[in-house]
Structure 1
Amino acid sequence: MMRSLYISKTGMDASQFKLDTVSNNLSNVNTTAFKRGIAVFQDLYYQTLRQPGSQLPSGSSVPIGLQVGTGAAGVATSTDMSQGSLTSSNQSYDMAINGDGFFQVQMPDGSTAYTRDGSFHRNANGDIVTASGYNLNPNINIPATATNMTVSAQGLVQYTLVNNPTPQTAGTMQLATFINPQGMLKLGGNLYQETAASGTPQVGDPGTDDRGPLKQGFLESSNVNVTQELVDMITAQRSFEMNSKAITAADQMLQNLTQVA
């Protein structure tokens, strides 16, 4: 009977893990370019009391075995990398990737992080930076006297100067793609980091190879589906309740067994 108490406990832990994942998704429903997490579970090891195909004293073999599971556990959090909807912001420094790819961001320690959050700004030096103040990589600078900044679908950044209608080129925004983007490490702040699981970044201009083109004046919304998350939340809640009831039932059976003994 003690086995059922432990199994139900693992079920409650798994339900809590599911609810934690759903809660994080719902809290980021308005986060630009957020990618929802998906809780992944596996069953735990089995106690084999009789091996399938084992011999009986009579000489015959059993067609099925006798195994008892020990519960379930969360083993991973998969990331749904599907694209969120693109919404117009009417801000010239906002960029959305219409397809695969990540913007490259220069971190303070010199490393490169990656993001799909294209809500960029221009700092006091004229550099295009993220909302947290991190420069794009490669860096793109727009002079203080510049007007009418434009970004093409292929990432070419141009601007005009006062009394000079000829477009000036500031640089080209480049995107990085990964063989396994789900293997990237989430850093928070809408940033990802390369890992051995993600593979090395393949860098190039937007709209080339497998990289999506850019849309200036748009932002990518979170890909969280509120209805689906609410369904998952109710499922996790009911699973937790059922496992709790199983513990109560096992405890009552133990009490009855103690009274009989």
Structure 2
Amino acid sequence: MNNSMISAMVAMSGIQQKLGMVSDNIANADTVGYKGKQATFEDVFTAVKQQPGAASALPGRVTGAGYNLGFGARMGDVTMNTAQGEMQTTNNPTDLAIQGDGMFAVSADGKQGWTREGSFHFVPSATDPTKAFMATDQGYLLMGKNARGVSAPLEVPAKTSIQIDDKGVVRSTDGAGKITVLPQSVQVDRIIHPEGLTQMDGNLFMLPTGANLNDVVGTMSATTQIRQGFLEGSNVDLSAEMSELITVQRAYQLAARTLSSSDNMMSITNSIRG
């Protein structure tokens, strides 16, 4: 297999991955709290090959005697675009949005996770009918922290209205109008290194196996605010992603044409040898 075929095949593989990433961004352009993904490309292998013989010592030669020999490019790191999405007013007391840095801490199948999706709803407690939890549409329970810093699923009194201030302090109001400050506040963690998280289904981010929690997650920033009755929209620029989709498709077509041309040249070479 010649070098041009290898380069084309490697490039097609990387471009296909980029195409899937762009398609994922477009599909989630209307997903609450979705953060778009970005990718970089890098050379697979590049070497400088020297031209043999007299070609390297021709009189009056200006260009160098070597030439670059590469094997295409592959998709490298995939990073998360952490830019703020547009705030959308819903006036629903269980809808929460984060203004600034941070993510809602949630419990996903008993494991710690994080999300920017704040479309929560009440879920009754299975063991205590007087209590309820707040959960996402995927069933991830919103976490809360008490004054001692202990983290656990946020418990709220059943059949009451709640008010959540910009720092996550939760107050409940019963039918008689009595206001109670709950011992738990909404847990919002500042993600120090977003690249250290793994994106799962349902707009959920998890810590990779073996990673240190303290290396990725910190406490809520003083400038971060929680907005009750709002949802954060996706930060995907649909027009930019559509333009990127066209560019990626054209690049894939060019790489495929290169592969086809290389195959034709090999066929011609084999026929000449025969």
* TM value normalised by structure 1: 0.85
1:248 aligned partner: 260
User: The residue matched to 2:31 in structure 1 has which SS?
Assistant: coil
> In the alignment, which of 188, 197, 201 is matched to residue 184 of structure 1?
197
Whole-Å Cα distance in 2 between the matches of residues 130 and 255 of structure 1?
58
Shift of 1:185: 0.9
Shift of 1:46: 2.1
1:146 aligned partner: 160
Q: Letter of the 2:246 partner, please give it.
A: I
Structure 2 unaligned blocks of 5 or more:
126-131, 145-152
- Contact persistence 1:128–1:135 (CA under 8 A): yes
Shift of 1:187: 1.9
User: The residue matched to 1:222 in structure 2 has which SS?
Assistant: coil
Whole-Å Cα distance in 2 between the matches of residues 11 and 3 of structure 1?
12
Shift of 1:253: 2.6
Whole-Å Cα distance in 1 between the matches of residues 15 and 142 of structure 2?
40
Answer yes or no: is 1:65 the counterpart of 2:69.
no
Whole-Å Cα distance in 2 between the matches of residues 122 and 69 of structure 1?
57
Answer yes or no: is 1:215 the counterpart of 2:233.
no
> In the alignment, which of 217, 224, 240 is matched to residue 201 of structure 1?
217
- Contact persistence 1:47–1:70 (CA under 8 A): no
Shift of 1:254: 2.7
User: The residue matched to 2:251 in structure 1 has which SS?
Assistant: helix
Identity percentage of aligned residues: 28
Whole-Å Cα distance in 2 between the matches of residues 197 and 239 of structure 1?
39
1:98 aligned partner: 99
1:129 aligned partner: 135
RMSD (CA atoms): 2.5
Shift of 1:43: 0.8
Distance change >3 Å, CA 64–CA 172, structure 1 → 2: farther
Shift of 1:67: 2.7
Question: For each residue in 1:133-186, what CA deviation from the matched residue of structure 2 results, as whole angstroms up to 9, or x when unmatched?
Answer: 332222333323423x211111111121222x3421123112101221122111
Shift of 1:21: 0.7
Question: For each residue in 1:54-82, what CA deviation from the matched residue of structure 2 results, as whole angstroms up to 9, or x when unmatched?
Answer: xx789xxx956333111111122111111
Whole-Å Cα distance in 2 between the matches of residues 117 and 57 of structure 1?
65
1:79 aligned partner: 80
Number of matched pairs = 249
Alignment of 1:228-247 (within 5 A): 228-247=240-259
* TM value normalised by structure 2: 0.82
- Contact persistence 2:196–2:216 (CA under 8 A): no
Whole-Å Cα distance in 2 between the matches of residues 22 and 76 of structure 1?
14
Question: For each residue in 1:95-123, what CA deviation from the matched residue of structure 2 results, as whole angstroms up to 9, or x when unmatched?
Answer: 000010111112333x3111111111111
- Contact persistence 1:183–1:197 (CA under 8 A): no
Distance change >3 Å, CA 155–CA 63, structure 1 → 2: same
Distance change >3 Å, CA 71–CA 197, structure 1 → 2: farther
